[in-house]
Amino acid sequence: MDNLVPGIDADCGGECSCATCHVMVNADWTGIVGEPNEAEDSMLDLNPERATNSRLSCQMTVSDNLDGLIVDLPEFQF
Amino acid sequence: MSEAPTLNMADFDPQDLALEDIDVSQRSIWIHDKKMSFFERLRNEAPVHYCKDSEYGPYWSVTRYKDIMEIDCNWQDFSSEPAITIVEPEEDFPLPMFIAMDPPVHDEQRKTVQGSVAPANLKLMEETIRSRTQQVLDDLPIREQFDWVDRVSIELTTQMLATLFDFPFEDRRKLTRWSDVATGDEESGIVESEEARQAKLYECLEYFTRLWHEREEQGERNDLVSMLAQGEATKNMTPQEYLGNLILLIVGGNDTTRNSMTGGVWALNQNPGEYAKLRNNPGVIPNMVSEIIRWQTPLAHMRRIANKDYVLDGQTIKAGDKVIMWYLSGNRDERSIDRPNEFIIDRDKARQHLSFGFGVHRCMGNRLAEMQLRILWEEVQKRFHMIEVIGEPKLVPSNFVHGYTEMQVVLHSH
Protein backbone atom coordinates (compact mmCIF):
# COMPACT_ATOMS: atom_id res chain seq x y z
CA MET A 1 0.00 0.00 0.00
CA ASP A 2 2.66 2.47 1.03
CA ASN A 3 4.75 1.28 -1.89
CA LEU A 4 2.03 2.21 -4.37
CA VAL A 5 1.85 -1.09 -6.21
CA PRO A 6 -0.17 -0.41 -9.36
CA GLY A 7 -3.45 -2.32 -9.19
CA ILE A 8 -3.66 -2.13 -5.40
CA ASP A 9 -5.59 1.08 -4.77
CA ALA A 10 -6.38 0.82 -1.05
CA ASP A 11 -8.73 3.80 -1.17
CA CYS A 12 -9.48 3.57 2.56
CA GLY A 13 -5.81 3.63 3.52
CA GLY A 14 -5.77 0.17 5.08
CA GLU A 15 -8.95 0.16 7.18
CA CYS A 16 -10.62 -2.91 5.69
CA SER A 17 -13.48 -0.83 4.39
CA CYS A 18 -13.23 -0.39 0.62
CA ALA A 19 -12.05 -3.74 -0.79
CA THR A 20 -9.81 -2.05 -3.37
CA CYS A 21 -6.68 -3.94 -2.31
CA HIS A 22 -8.02 -7.34 -3.34
CA VAL A 23 -5.41 -10.03 -4.09
CA MET A 24 -5.57 -13.76 -4.80
CA VAL A 25 -3.00 -15.70 -2.82
CA ASN A 26 -0.90 -18.28 -4.67
CA ALA A 27 -1.84 -21.86 -3.74
CA ASP A 28 1.57 -22.53 -2.16
CA TRP A 29 1.01 -19.67 0.24
CA THR A 30 -2.65 -19.88 1.29
CA GLY A 31 -1.86 -21.97 4.38
CA ILE A 32 0.80 -19.54 5.55
CA VAL A 33 -1.26 -16.42 4.88
CA GLY A 34 -4.39 -17.84 6.51
CA GLU A 35 -8.08 -17.06 6.22
CA PRO A 36 -9.73 -13.63 6.03
CA ASN A 37 -10.97 -12.16 9.32
CA GLU A 38 -14.66 -11.50 9.89
CA ALA A 39 -14.76 -7.86 8.77
CA GLU A 40 -12.61 -8.69 5.77
CA ASP A 41 -14.89 -11.56 4.87
CA SER A 42 -17.94 -9.29 4.76
CA MET A 43 -16.15 -6.78 2.52
CA LEU A 44 -14.84 -9.49 0.19
CA ASP A 45 -18.28 -10.98 0.00
CA LEU A 46 -19.60 -7.93 -1.86
CA ASN A 47 -17.18 -8.53 -4.71
CA PRO A 48 -18.55 -10.75 -7.51
CA GLU A 49 -14.96 -11.62 -8.44
CA ARG A 50 -14.16 -13.09 -5.05
CA ALA A 51 -12.30 -16.41 -5.20
CA THR A 52 -11.58 -18.99 -2.49
CA ASN A 53 -8.05 -17.63 -2.14
CA SER A 54 -9.09 -13.96 -2.02
CA ARG A 55 -7.71 -11.67 0.66
CA LEU A 56 -7.63 -7.93 1.25
CA SER A 57 -3.94 -7.19 1.33
CA CYS A 58 -4.35 -4.46 3.96
CA GLN A 59 -5.46 -7.15 6.42
CA MET A 60 -2.40 -9.35 5.96
CA THR A 61 0.32 -8.70 8.52
CA VAL A 62 3.71 -8.60 6.90
CA SER A 63 6.33 -10.74 8.64
CA ASP A 64 9.50 -12.63 7.75
CA ASN A 65 7.62 -15.82 6.96
CA LEU A 66 5.79 -13.99 4.14
CA ASP A 67 9.08 -13.18 2.43
CA GLY A 68 8.69 -14.25 -1.21
CA LEU A 69 4.87 -14.28 -1.08
CA ILE A 70 3.20 -14.61 -4.48
CA VAL A 71 -0.24 -13.11 -5.11
CA ASP A 72 -2.26 -12.52 -8.26
CA LEU A 73 -4.12 -9.28 -8.79
CA PRO A 74 -7.67 -9.35 -10.09
CA GLU A 75 -8.05 -8.02 -13.61
CA PHE A 76 -9.88 -5.02 -12.13
CA GLN A 77 -10.08 -3.71 -8.60
CA PHE A 78 -13.50 -3.56 -6.97
CA MET B 1 -40.18 21.50 16.11
CA SER B 2 -40.05 23.99 18.96
CA GLU B 3 -42.19 27.07 19.43
CA ALA B 4 -39.15 29.34 19.54
CA PRO B 5 -38.44 31.26 16.35
CA THR B 6 -35.78 29.53 14.33
CA LEU B 7 -32.58 31.41 13.66
CA ASN B 8 -31.86 31.84 10.00
CA MET B 9 -28.31 30.44 9.81
CA ALA B 10 -27.52 32.18 6.53
CA ASP B 11 -27.86 35.58 8.26
CA PHE B 12 -24.92 34.82 10.55
CA ASP B 13 -21.21 34.34 10.48
CA PRO B 14 -20.81 30.90 12.09
CA GLN B 15 -18.39 32.40 14.66
CA ASP B 16 -21.16 34.69 15.94
CA LEU B 17 -23.48 31.86 16.90
CA ALA B 18 -23.43 29.74 20.04
CA LEU B 19 -22.35 26.23 19.12
CA GLU B 20 -25.60 24.83 20.44
CA ASP B 21 -27.60 27.04 18.07
CA ILE B 22 -25.88 25.80 14.94
CA ASP B 23 -27.98 23.69 12.60
CA VAL B 24 -25.98 22.71 9.52
CA SER B 25 -28.97 20.93 8.00
CA GLN B 26 -30.83 24.21 7.58
CA ARG B 27 -31.59 24.79 3.96
CA SER B 28 -30.69 28.49 3.98
CA ILE B 29 -26.95 27.84 4.27
CA TRP B 30 -27.12 25.38 1.38
CA ILE B 31 -29.11 27.72 -0.85
CA HIS B 32 -26.71 30.59 -0.13
CA ASP B 33 -23.64 28.34 -0.26
CA LYS B 34 -22.46 29.15 3.26
CA LYS B 35 -22.27 25.61 4.60
CA MET B 36 -18.49 25.20 4.33
CA SER B 37 -17.73 27.86 6.96
CA PHE B 38 -20.23 26.26 9.35
CA PHE B 39 -18.64 22.86 8.87
CA GLU B 40 -15.20 24.33 9.46
CA ARG B 41 -16.32 25.67 12.83
CA LEU B 42 -17.83 22.33 13.84
CA ARG B 43 -14.72 20.40 12.77
CA ASN B 44 -12.55 22.71 14.88
CA GLU B 45 -14.70 23.17 17.95
CA ALA B 46 -17.39 20.48 18.07
CA PRO B 47 -16.53 17.60 15.73
CA VAL B 48 -19.34 15.51 17.22
CA HIS B 49 -22.08 18.09 17.55
CA TYR B 50 -25.62 17.79 18.84
CA CYS B 51 -28.37 19.89 17.30
CA LYS B 52 -31.35 19.61 19.60
CA ASP B 53 -33.92 20.96 17.22
CA SER B 54 -34.20 21.13 13.46
CA GLU B 55 -36.66 20.69 10.64
CA TYR B 56 -35.79 16.99 10.91
CA GLY B 57 -35.79 16.71 14.71
CA PRO B 58 -32.68 16.35 16.87
CA TYR B 59 -29.52 14.92 15.30
CA TRP B 60 -25.76 14.57 15.74
CA SER B 61 -23.35 15.94 13.14
CA VAL B 62 -20.06 14.12 12.60
CA THR B 63 -17.75 16.31 10.55
CA ARG B 64 -14.17 14.96 10.72
CA TYR B 65 -12.84 12.46 8.17
CA LYS B 66 -11.66 9.81 10.64
CA ASP B 67 -14.80 9.97 12.79
CA ILE B 68 -16.99 9.57 9.71
CA MET B 69 -14.95 6.58 8.66
CA GLU B 70 -15.29 5.01 12.12
CA ILE B 71 -19.07 5.23 11.99
CA ASP B 72 -19.43 4.27 8.34
CA CYS B 73 -17.45 1.07 8.95
CA ASN B 74 -19.41 0.09 12.06
CA TRP B 75 -22.74 -1.26 10.80
CA GLN B 76 -23.11 -3.31 13.99
CA ASP B 77 -23.47 -0.19 16.17
CA PHE B 78 -24.89 2.22 13.60
CA SER B 79 -27.92 1.08 11.64
CA SER B 80 -28.82 2.27 8.17
CA GLU B 81 -32.48 1.49 8.79
CA PRO B 82 -35.01 2.80 8.02
CA ALA B 83 -33.49 5.51 5.81
CA ILE B 84 -30.12 6.98 4.89
CA THR B 85 -30.89 10.70 4.62
CA ILE B 86 -31.67 13.17 7.38
CA VAL B 87 -35.34 13.33 6.34
CA GLU B 88 -37.65 10.99 8.22
CA PRO B 89 -39.40 8.57 5.86
CA GLU B 90 -43.15 9.11 5.29
CA GLU B 91 -44.96 6.63 7.52
CA ASP B 92 -47.63 5.90 4.94
CA PHE B 93 -45.10 5.68 2.10
CA PRO B 94 -42.13 3.61 3.19
CA LEU B 95 -39.51 2.95 0.54
CA PRO B 96 -37.45 -0.05 1.60
CA MET B 97 -34.18 -0.30 -0.32
CA PHE B 98 -31.01 -2.21 0.36
CA ILE B 99 -28.86 0.81 1.10
CA ALA B 100 -31.25 1.39 4.03
CA MET B 101 -30.99 -2.15 5.35
CA ASP B 102 -28.40 -3.79 7.57
CA PRO B 103 -26.67 -7.11 6.96
CA PRO B 104 -27.63 -9.85 6.25
CA VAL B 105 -30.61 -8.75 4.09
CA HIS B 106 -28.61 -5.84 2.68
CA ASP B 107 -25.84 -8.15 1.51
CA GLU B 108 -28.18 -10.59 -0.22
CA GLN B 109 -30.04 -7.91 -2.17
CA ARG B 110 -26.91 -5.98 -3.05
CA LYS B 111 -25.19 -9.09 -4.35
CA THR B 112 -28.10 -9.64 -6.73
CA VAL B 113 -27.40 -6.42 -8.64
CA GLN B 114 -23.74 -5.72 -7.88
CA GLY B 115 -22.55 -7.63 -10.95
CA SER B 116 -24.13 -5.16 -13.37
CA VAL B 117 -21.67 -2.42 -12.42
CA ALA B 118 -18.80 -4.61 -11.29
CA PRO B 119 -15.50 -4.02 -13.07
CA ALA B 120 -15.66 -7.09 -15.32
CA ASN B 121 -18.91 -5.85 -16.82
CA LEU B 122 -17.60 -2.32 -17.22
CA LYS B 123 -15.03 -3.34 -19.78
CA LEU B 124 -17.89 -4.49 -21.99
CA MET B 125 -19.59 -1.11 -21.65
CA GLU B 126 -16.60 1.14 -22.23
CA GLU B 127 -16.91 1.45 -26.01
CA THR B 128 -20.65 2.18 -25.83
CA ILE B 129 -20.06 4.87 -23.24
CA ARG B 130 -17.27 6.40 -25.31
CA SER B 131 -19.22 6.54 -28.56
CA ARG B 132 -22.23 8.09 -26.81
CA THR B 133 -20.03 10.64 -25.11
CA GLN B 134 -18.49 11.51 -28.48
CA GLN B 135 -21.95 11.92 -30.00
CA VAL B 136 -23.20 14.19 -27.21
CA LEU B 137 -20.06 16.36 -27.40
CA ASP B 138 -20.07 16.53 -31.20
CA ASP B 139 -23.64 17.85 -31.14
CA LEU B 140 -22.75 20.81 -28.90
CA PRO B 141 -22.56 24.35 -30.33
CA ILE B 142 -19.22 26.20 -30.38
CA ARG B 143 -19.03 29.84 -29.19
CA GLU B 144 -22.69 29.81 -28.27
CA GLN B 145 -24.05 29.72 -24.73
CA PHE B 146 -25.91 26.62 -23.50
CA ASP B 147 -26.70 24.74 -20.28
CA TRP B 148 -24.01 22.11 -19.60
CA VAL B 149 -26.18 20.41 -16.94
CA ASP B 150 -28.99 19.67 -19.37
CA ARG B 151 -27.04 19.02 -22.57
CA VAL B 152 -24.16 17.01 -21.12
CA SER B 153 -24.40 15.96 -17.46
CA ILE B 154 -28.05 14.93 -17.45
CA GLU B 155 -27.95 13.53 -20.96
CA LEU B 156 -24.94 11.29 -20.39
CA THR B 157 -25.98 9.95 -16.99
CA THR B 158 -29.52 9.35 -18.15
CA GLN B 159 -28.32 7.44 -21.21
CA MET B 160 -26.15 5.34 -18.91
CA LEU B 161 -29.06 4.55 -16.62
CA ALA B 162 -31.28 3.60 -19.56
CA THR B 163 -28.60 1.16 -20.65
CA LEU B 164 -28.19 -0.40 -17.21
CA PHE B 165 -31.95 -0.93 -16.92
CA ASP B 166 -32.36 -1.70 -20.62
CA PHE B 167 -35.01 1.01 -20.40
CA PRO B 168 -36.78 2.23 -23.57
CA PHE B 169 -34.30 4.81 -24.83
CA GLU B 170 -36.83 7.33 -26.13
CA ASP B 171 -38.43 7.51 -22.67
CA ARG B 172 -35.14 7.99 -20.83
CA ARG B 173 -35.86 11.50 -19.51
CA LYS B 174 -38.56 9.93 -17.36
CA LEU B 175 -35.68 8.45 -15.37
CA THR B 176 -34.24 11.92 -14.83
CA ARG B 177 -37.57 13.22 -13.63
CA TRP B 178 -38.13 10.29 -11.25
CA SER B 179 -34.65 10.77 -9.84
CA ASP B 180 -35.26 14.47 -9.18
CA VAL B 181 -38.67 13.81 -7.66
CA ALA B 182 -37.34 11.07 -5.39
CA THR B 183 -34.92 13.42 -3.63
CA GLY B 184 -37.02 16.58 -3.98
CA ASP B 185 -39.82 18.06 -1.88
CA GLU B 186 -42.20 21.04 -1.86
CA GLU B 187 -39.64 23.48 -0.53
CA SER B 188 -37.11 22.58 -3.19
CA GLY B 189 -39.69 23.52 -5.83
CA ILE B 190 -39.26 20.19 -7.60
CA VAL B 191 -42.77 18.95 -6.76
CA GLU B 192 -45.94 20.77 -5.69
CA SER B 193 -46.78 18.54 -2.76
CA GLU B 194 -46.01 15.24 -1.08
CA GLU B 195 -49.09 13.79 -2.83
CA ALA B 196 -47.75 14.90 -6.20
CA ARG B 197 -44.39 13.34 -5.33
CA GLN B 198 -45.92 10.00 -4.45
CA ALA B 199 -48.10 10.03 -7.56
CA LYS B 200 -45.02 10.56 -9.70
CA LEU B 201 -43.18 7.71 -7.97
CA TYR B 202 -46.15 5.39 -8.50
CA GLU B 203 -45.92 6.25 -12.18
CA CYS B 204 -42.32 5.06 -12.00
CA LEU B 205 -43.39 1.84 -10.27
CA GLU B 206 -46.10 1.21 -12.83
CA TYR B 207 -43.72 1.65 -15.74
CA PHE B 208 -41.10 -0.61 -14.21
CA THR B 209 -43.66 -3.24 -13.20
CA ARG B 210 -44.46 -3.63 -16.87
CA LEU B 211 -40.77 -4.19 -17.60
CA TRP B 212 -40.54 -6.64 -14.68
CA HIS B 213 -43.36 -8.78 -16.06
CA GLU B 214 -41.83 -8.75 -19.52
CA ARG B 215 -38.49 -9.90 -18.19
CA GLU B 216 -39.16 -12.31 -15.36
CA GLU B 217 -39.70 -15.11 -17.87
CA GLN B 218 -37.16 -14.04 -20.47
CA GLY B 219 -34.17 -16.04 -19.35
CA GLU B 220 -30.89 -14.64 -18.10
CA ARG B 221 -30.12 -11.07 -19.12
CA ASN B 222 -27.76 -8.69 -17.43
CA ASP B 223 -29.93 -5.59 -17.10
CA LEU B 224 -30.91 -4.48 -13.59
CA VAL B 225 -34.63 -5.16 -14.01
CA SER B 226 -34.01 -8.76 -15.07
CA MET B 227 -31.53 -9.22 -12.23
CA LEU B 228 -34.11 -8.04 -9.68
CA ALA B 229 -36.97 -10.00 -11.25
CA GLN B 230 -34.98 -13.22 -11.37
CA GLY B 231 -32.66 -12.95 -8.34
CA GLU B 232 -33.41 -15.31 -5.45
CA ALA B 233 -33.09 -12.53 -2.87
CA THR B 234 -35.24 -10.05 -4.78
CA LYS B 235 -37.82 -11.89 -6.92
CA ASN B 236 -40.40 -11.91 -4.11
CA MET B 237 -40.08 -8.24 -3.18
CA THR B 238 -43.24 -6.27 -2.47
CA PRO B 239 -44.08 -3.54 -5.00
CA GLN B 240 -43.01 -0.90 -2.47
CA GLU B 241 -39.66 -2.65 -2.01
CA TYR B 242 -39.22 -2.87 -5.78
CA LEU B 243 -39.92 0.86 -6.00
CA GLY B 244 -37.48 1.56 -3.17
CA ASN B 245 -34.67 -0.34 -4.85
CA LEU B 246 -35.43 1.25 -8.23
CA ILE B 247 -35.19 4.69 -6.66
CA LEU B 248 -31.90 3.70 -5.06
CA LEU B 249 -30.43 2.58 -8.37
CA ILE B 250 -31.84 5.56 -10.29
CA VAL B 251 -30.67 8.19 -7.79
CA GLY B 252 -27.39 6.37 -7.19
CA GLY B 253 -26.58 6.38 -10.87
CA ASN B 254 -27.97 9.75 -11.73
CA ASP B 255 -27.75 12.54 -9.17
CA THR B 256 -24.20 11.62 -8.30
CA THR B 257 -22.20 11.35 -11.52
CA ARG B 258 -24.33 14.09 -13.06
CA ASN B 259 -23.12 16.59 -10.50
CA SER B 260 -19.50 15.50 -10.71
CA MET B 261 -19.72 16.05 -14.48
CA THR B 262 -20.79 19.63 -13.83
CA GLY B 263 -18.65 20.19 -10.74
CA GLY B 264 -15.43 19.34 -12.56
CA VAL B 265 -16.01 22.02 -15.18
CA TRP B 266 -16.81 24.56 -12.46
CA ALA B 267 -13.74 23.63 -10.41
CA LEU B 268 -11.41 23.96 -13.41
CA ASN B 269 -12.90 27.37 -14.22
CA GLN B 270 -12.22 28.57 -10.69
CA ASN B 271 -8.67 27.19 -10.89
CA PRO B 272 -7.16 28.23 -14.24
CA GLY B 273 -3.74 26.93 -13.19
CA GLU B 274 -5.22 23.45 -12.84
CA TYR B 275 -6.93 23.77 -16.22
CA ALA B 276 -3.51 24.56 -17.72
CA LYS B 277 -2.05 21.46 -16.05
CA LEU B 278 -4.77 19.35 -17.62
CA ARG B 279 -4.08 20.78 -21.10
CA ASN B 280 -0.39 20.05 -20.75
CA ASN B 281 -0.86 16.55 -19.39
CA PRO B 282 -4.04 14.63 -20.27
CA GLY B 283 -2.47 11.64 -18.47
CA VAL B 284 -3.56 13.28 -15.23
CA ILE B 285 -7.24 12.61 -16.02
CA PRO B 286 -7.72 9.46 -13.86
CA ASN B 287 -6.24 11.26 -10.86
CA MET B 288 -8.27 14.38 -11.64
CA VAL B 289 -11.45 12.30 -11.68
CA SER B 290 -10.87 11.26 -8.07
CA GLU B 291 -10.12 14.86 -7.13
CA ILE B 292 -13.33 16.05 -8.80
CA ILE B 293 -15.34 13.45 -6.91
CA ARG B 294 -13.76 14.56 -3.62
CA TRP B 295 -14.11 18.26 -4.36
CA GLN B 296 -17.74 17.94 -5.41
CA THR B 297 -18.89 15.26 -2.92
CA PRO B 298 -22.18 14.85 -4.81
CA LEU B 299 -23.95 13.32 -1.83
CA ALA B 300 -23.31 15.63 1.12
CA HIS B 301 -24.32 13.23 3.88
CA MET B 302 -25.51 9.79 4.98
CA ARG B 303 -27.46 9.07 8.13
CA ARG B 304 -27.33 6.29 10.75
CA ILE B 305 -29.21 5.44 13.94
CA ALA B 306 -27.12 4.36 16.95
CA ASN B 307 -27.95 0.85 18.13
CA LYS B 308 -26.36 1.47 21.55
CA ASP B 309 -24.74 4.24 23.55
CA TYR B 310 -21.47 5.11 21.83
CA VAL B 311 -18.73 7.51 22.85
CA LEU B 312 -17.04 9.47 20.07
CA ASP B 313 -14.63 12.37 20.68
CA GLY B 314 -15.87 12.57 24.28
CA GLN B 315 -19.54 12.89 23.33
CA THR B 316 -22.02 10.17 24.21
CA ILE B 317 -24.33 9.35 21.34
CA LYS B 318 -27.36 7.60 22.87
CA ALA B 319 -29.00 4.48 21.52
CA GLY B 320 -31.71 5.57 19.08
CA ASP B 321 -30.07 8.92 18.23
CA LYS B 322 -29.84 10.08 14.65
CA VAL B 323 -26.27 10.54 13.42
CA ILE B 324 -25.43 12.46 10.24
CA MET B 325 -22.05 11.79 8.65
CA TRP B 326 -21.26 14.91 6.63
CA TYR B 327 -19.08 13.53 3.84
CA LEU B 328 -18.81 17.02 2.37
CA SER B 329 -17.17 18.21 5.58
CA GLY B 330 -14.92 15.15 5.99
CA ASN B 331 -13.61 15.74 2.49
CA ARG B 332 -12.50 19.24 3.63
CA ASP B 333 -10.88 18.03 6.86
CA GLU B 334 -7.32 19.37 7.06
CA ARG B 335 -6.48 16.69 9.66
CA SER B 336 -6.73 14.00 6.98
CA ILE B 337 -6.37 15.78 3.64
CA ASP B 338 -3.54 18.11 2.69
CA ARG B 339 -4.78 21.59 1.64
CA PRO B 340 -8.35 20.28 1.46
CA ASN B 341 -9.96 23.48 0.23
CA GLU B 342 -7.78 23.53 -2.85
CA PHE B 343 -8.64 21.73 -6.06
CA ILE B 344 -5.40 19.98 -7.11
CA ILE B 345 -5.79 17.64 -10.07
CA ASP B 346 -2.45 15.89 -9.55
CA ARG B 347 -2.92 15.57 -5.78
CA ASP B 348 -1.22 12.67 -3.95
CA LYS B 349 -3.56 9.97 -2.66
CA ALA B 350 -6.49 11.54 -4.51
CA ARG B 351 -8.40 8.27 -4.23
CA GLN B 352 -8.56 8.63 -0.45
CA HIS B 353 -11.82 10.55 -0.10
CA LEU B 354 -15.20 9.91 1.51
CA SER B 355 -17.51 10.49 -1.44
CA PHE B 356 -18.20 6.78 -2.03
CA GLY B 357 -18.54 6.01 1.68
CA PHE B 358 -16.74 3.10 3.35
CA GLY B 359 -17.74 -0.27 4.71
CA VAL B 360 -20.47 -2.60 3.51
CA HIS B 361 -22.55 0.26 2.05
CA ARG B 362 -19.70 1.66 -0.04
CA CYS B 363 -20.95 2.89 -3.43
CA MET B 364 -21.27 -0.13 -5.69
CA GLY B 365 -21.10 2.00 -8.85
CA ASN B 366 -17.82 3.71 -7.95
CA ARG B 367 -15.81 2.22 -10.80
CA LEU B 368 -18.54 2.98 -13.32
CA ALA B 369 -18.71 6.58 -12.13
CA GLU B 370 -14.95 6.95 -12.46
CA MET B 371 -15.02 5.44 -15.93
CA GLN B 372 -17.82 7.73 -17.15
CA LEU B 373 -15.95 10.79 -15.89
CA ARG B 374 -12.62 9.63 -17.29
CA ILE B 375 -14.11 9.08 -20.75
CA LEU B 376 -15.93 12.42 -20.64
CA TRP B 377 -12.70 14.30 -19.91
CA GLU B 378 -10.65 12.33 -22.42
CA GLU B 379 -13.16 13.23 -25.14
CA VAL B 380 -13.55 16.82 -23.96
CA GLN B 381 -9.79 17.39 -24.11
CA LYS B 382 -9.63 16.05 -27.66
CA ARG B 383 -12.21 18.60 -28.76
CA PHE B 384 -12.13 21.80 -26.75
CA HIS B 385 -9.51 24.24 -25.56
CA MET B 386 -11.84 25.40 -22.83
CA ILE B 387 -15.33 25.02 -21.44
CA GLU B 388 -15.93 28.53 -20.16
CA VAL B 389 -18.51 28.89 -17.41
CA ILE B 390 -20.69 31.99 -17.81
CA GLY B 391 -21.81 33.48 -14.49
CA GLU B 392 -22.27 31.08 -11.59
CA PRO B 393 -24.02 27.72 -11.70
CA LYS B 394 -27.37 27.36 -9.90
CA LEU B 395 -27.26 25.04 -6.88
CA VAL B 396 -29.71 22.28 -5.99
CA PRO B 397 -31.47 23.57 -2.84
CA SER B 398 -30.71 20.45 -0.82
CA ASN B 399 -28.51 19.32 2.05
CA PHE B 400 -28.29 15.83 0.53
CA VAL B 401 -27.80 16.19 -3.23
CA HIS B 402 -24.85 18.56 -3.55
CA GLY B 403 -25.14 19.65 -7.12
CA TYR B 404 -26.34 21.98 -9.82
CA THR B 405 -29.60 22.62 -11.62
CA GLU B 406 -28.04 24.78 -14.33
CA MET B 407 -24.61 25.92 -15.52
CA GLN B 408 -24.29 28.12 -18.60
CA VAL B 409 -21.13 27.59 -20.62
CA VAL B 410 -19.47 28.54 -23.90
CA LEU B 411 -17.15 26.13 -25.68
CA HIS B 412 -13.88 27.21 -27.26
CA SER B 413 -12.30 24.86 -29.75
CA HIS B 414 -8.55 24.25 -30.04
Q: What is the pLDDT of residues B14-44, one digit of tens each?
A: 999 999 999 999 999 999 999 999 999 999 9
pLDDT surpassing 50 at residue A67: yes
- Portion 68-87 of B in contact with A at CB < 8 A: 69, 72-73
Residue A58 banded pLDDT, cuts 50, 70, 90: very high
**Residue A37 contacts B, CB cutoff 8 Å:** no
Residue B111 to residue A77, Cβ atoms within 8 A: no
Of B123, B352, B359, the CB nearest to A13: B352
pTM to 2 decimals?
0.94
Q: Which of B65, B67, B73 to mutate to test the interface with A (most CBs of A within 10 A)?
A: B73
Q: What is the dihedral of CA B64, B70, B73, B77, to 10 degrees?
A: -120
What are the backbone dihedrals phi and psi of residue B44, each rounded to the nearest 5 degrees, phi first?
A: -80, -35
A42 contact residues in B (CB cutoff 8 A): 103, 107, 360
Determine the residue type at A56. Answer: L
- Residue/partner pairs of B141-144 with CB below 8 Å, 24 or more apart: B141/B411, B142/B411, B142/B412, B142/B413, B143/B410, B143/B411, B143/B412, B144/B410
Q: Is omega for the bond preceding B89 within 30 degrees of 0, making it cis? A: no
CB B2 within 8 Å of CB B58? no
- Portion 87-116 of B in contact with A at CB < 8 A: 103, 107, 110-111, 114-115
Query: Helices in B216-284 by DSSP H: which ranges?
Result: 224-230, 239-270, 272-280
What does the alpha-carbon distance between residue B212 and residue B230 come to, in Å, rounded to a whole number? 9
Pairing of strands B310-312, B315-317: antiparallel
pLDDT surpassing 80 at residue B1: no
Q: What is the mean pLDDT of residues A9-17?
A: 91
pLDDT surpassing 90 at residue B2: no
pLDDT surpassing 70 at residue A1: no
Judged by DSSP in three states, B80 sits in: coil
Instruction: List the one residue out of B219, B184, B209 whose CA is nearest residue B405.
Output: B184
pLDDT at B175: 94
pLDDT at B5: 63
Of A9, A13, A43, the CB nearest to B360: A43
pLDDT surpassing 60 at residue B379: yes
Q: What is the mean pLDDT of residues A1-14?
A: 78
Min CA distance, B196 vs chain A (Å)? 36
Instruction: State which residue of chain A sits closest to B122, comparing Cα positions.
Output: A76
**Residue A30 contacts B, CB cutoff 8 Å:** no
Helix (H) or strand (E) holding B156: helix B155-165
Pairing of strands A71-72, A22-25: antiparallel
% of chain A exceeding 70 in pLDDT: 95
A43 contact residues in B (CB cutoff 8 A): 359-360
% of chain B exceeding 70 in pLDDT: 99
ipTM of the complex: 0.89
Residue A2 banded pLDDT, cuts 50, 70, 90: low
